[in-house]
Amino acid sequence: MVRPVPESELPKVSELSARLKEGMTKYSVRLHFRDGRKENGAITFVERLGRGRIIDIDREFSMDFSIADLTGVDYLS
């Protein structure tokens, strides 16, 4: 079962934004969503809009995301 993250445990938007901007240079990242989902792939991110896209080529999957939907960003090797 997936547990949503409480508001008090969420990182600051500026921290997430910095991680997303750096993540655009990485081959793969893992995005953690507020509803408990985790998605892996390459990302694009437009800071001024607070929106981006994650693309998983192996699964032929892509989706748009908003920075407000995220709880964390991990860099994968």
List the CATH code of the domain at 7-76.
2.30.30.100
Q: Is 54 exposed, middle or buried (0-12, 13-18, 19+ CB in 10 A)?
A: buried
Q: Give the pLDDT of residue 12.
A: 83
The answer to whether 20 and 45 have CB atoms below 8 angstroms apart is yes
What residue ranges do the domains of the chain occupy?
A: 7-76
pLDDT in tens, 42-56: 999 999 999 999 999
**Distance from C-alpha of 48 to C-alpha of 56, rounded to nearest angstrom:** 24
pTM greater than 0.85: no
